[in-house]
A and B are shown apart, each in its own frame.
Chain A
Amino acid sequence: MLLSPPLLAFLVVYIGALAVVLVSSFWSVNAFTSEIEHTWTLANYRTIFSTSQPYLHIAGLTLEIAAAVTLTDAILAFPLAFFMARLAGRRTRALLFVMVLLPLWSSYLVRIYAWQTILAHNGAINWALNGIGLPDQNLAYTSTAMWVVFSYVWLPFMVLPVYAALERIPDSYLEASADLGARGWRTFRSVILPLALPGVVAGSIFTFALTLGDYITPLLVGGPGSTFIGNVVYENFATNVPFAAAFTLVPMLIMGVYLLIARRLGAFDAL
């Protein structure tokens, strides 16, 4: 049998560990001994959904930035993907492909770090602003900085699936559309856009999910008010595993719903 013991062990360990995390979210930590108490409680969930706590606000900010990043990347990527797939010559296309792939493969941390230096007070942005006679901006360590950096880091993930979807549209569809009297814009709206949509949704799975689960970018370029779900989870992990576990369920549930919608929009075939 090809599904050999190591593979099964791998699955058992992984699934078992996930199950333990889920179950532990219904436990609590003794405030005095810091031991985990294995008694069933919804206390962690009550804390998360309590309006007197910051957690709903944090989840809201995380979602908001994830949505903004997804939208920004779609807007930045679509024209580029379109140019690559349908207009560029063979050589230009290959060149653009490498230009998109190289940043994707280069270190995620290094790319965040690059923005840290660019956004810094004495960094390249303020240098450029001063150069054209504008005053300094304090962009470093703000939620705006997080939006820019996330959009930057995940952008190639949007370009590639959109490109793949656009490239697969047969020329004959466009000719048929033109033969039926559709002008450029009409063809775009009624033929190209619907066929490219699964690609955009596929890309959005990456940009959305990766932003939702991240805690490194907020840590490195975010400010005092830019805590993400991931940061709370990471900080609580050392002291209060049940609470951290309960809070990870929030992005998991959001992603579950998102993936169900994405599948209905045909995004899985475009991956």
Chain B
Amino acid sequence: MSGRSTRLPLALWSALVITFLWIPIVLIALYAFNGSTLQGWPIEHWSLHWFRVAWDSDARSALWLSVRVGLIVTAIALVLGTMAAAAVARFRFFGREAISFLLVLPLALPGIITGMALNSFFVFAGISVSMWTIVIGHSTFCVVVVYNNVVARLRRTSGSLLEASQDLGADGWQTFRFVLWPVLSTALVAGGLLAFALSFDEVIVTTFTAGLQETLPIFILDNLRQGQQLPVVNVVAFFVISATVIPVFLAQRVMRDTGVRVGAAARAQGGMA
């Protein structure tokens, strides 16, 4: 299979597919420097003007809201996701199978269903929209992302490690600090990164739980739908694209060090829409 005759066409095909993946990203990044308000190609007049305009626009408060929501959601997801994973991986209890199935639902179901369900619940319970309703909406799938990462790691970790630690006289904290933490830390970093990235990028559930508040994706969506402030949207797009380098770089390191399965990343992203 690895003969020269198959190698070249496959390499060419791969190059084409990668080009297809990258051309739109490069083009939209260039538009941030478009001096004109018209979105035509090629760009005829280059300028940094819109960066200043974007900084003074609503985009900044939208970014701030997105960052706050993302951080809170990540914290919640890390705590609840790890607890759920520990319970499911370590103990046998009534309803264990059911819970491990239910926990995958927020990822498996389309976001529009999660969004509708939560919105109905908020209306029914008389909860008015706030940053916290967005946080609850994002937490549904972010908890699951962390849960998936941690439960996979715990399944590969032998329970005898913990028993050995206890036999050697370690207390609960020491066992956690010196045995469990080294095993789990990279899974938690990977899960936390994914949770933040998913929250930061989430649109569909947010449209049902945000009311009139604008997260960064909602800011982009609103302006795209109305065809307004496109030069500002270009700058925001440039910023968002540049920012993705950080998680990819970190995730790449974490995955290389620990062999986190690539599928886990893809599965986690399934909750994105």
| Complex Cα spacing A98 to B224, Å | 29
Give min CB distance, A3 to chain B, whole Å. 5
Determine whether the beta carbon of A244 is less than 8 Å from that of B116. yes
Determine whether the beta carbon of A14 is less than 8 Å from that of B28. no
Determine whether the beta carbon of A20 is less than 8 Å from that of B120. yes
Option from A152, A192, A237, A251 in Cβ contact (under 8 Å) with B119: A237
Determine whether the beta carbon of A160 is less than 8 Å from that of B110. no
Give min CB distance, B271 to chain A, whole Å. 10
Q: Is B162 positioned at the interface, with any CB of A under 8 Å from its CB?
A: no
| Complex Cα spacing A104 to B245, Å | 11
Option from A110, A122, A212 in Cβ contact (under 8 Å) with B41: A122
**Residues from chain A with Cβ under 8 Å of B6 in the complex:** 184
Mask for A4-35, Cβ within 8 A of B = 1, else 0?
10110011011111101100100000000000
Q: Is A118 positioned at the interface, with any CB of B under 8 Å from its CB?
A: yes
Determine whether the beta carbon of B270 is less than 8 Å from that of A209. yes
Beta-carbon nearest neighbor of A100 in chain B: B21
Determine whether the beta carbon of A105 is less than 8 Å from that of B110. no
**Residues from chain B with Cβ under 8 Å of A157 in the complex:** 266, 269-270
Given contacts A2-B87, A83-B14, A157-B269, contact A123 B112 (CB under 8 A): no
Q: Is A141 positioned at the interface, with any CB of B under 8 Å from its CB?
A: no
Considering only CB atoms and an 8 Å cut-off, how many residues of chain A contact the other chain?
94
| Complex Cα spacing A114 to B22, Å | 11
Give min CB distance, B118 to chain A, whole Å. 6
Mask for A86-129, Cβ within 8 A of B = 1, else 0?
11000000101111111111111111011111101011100100
Option from B17, B80, B244, B262 in Cβ contact (under 8 Å) with A105: B244
**Residues from chain B with Cβ under 8 Å of A245 in the complex:** 116
| Complex Cα spacing A87 to B9, Å | 12
Beta-carbon nearest neighbor of B273 in chain A: A210
Determine whether the beta carbon of B42 is less than 8 Å from that of A2. no
Q: Is B111 positioned at the interface, with any CB of A under 8 Å from its CB?
A: yes
Q: Is B140 positioned at the interface, with any CB of A under 8 Å from its CB?
A: yes
Give min CB distance, A71 to chain B, whole Å. 15
8 nearest interchain CB pairs? A213-B110, A114-B24, A17-B117, A114-B28, A17-B121, A122-B40, A106-B244, A2-B87
B residues neighboring A (CB under 8 Å): 1-3, 6-7, 9-11, 13-14, 17-18, 20-25, 27-28, 31, 38-42, 80, 83-84, 86-87, 90-91, 93, 99, 102-103, 105-106, 108-114, 116-121, 124, 136, 139-140, 143, 197, 201, 203-204, 207-208, 217, 220-221, 224-225, 233, 237, 240-241, 244-245, 247-248, 251-252, 261-267, 269-270, 272-273
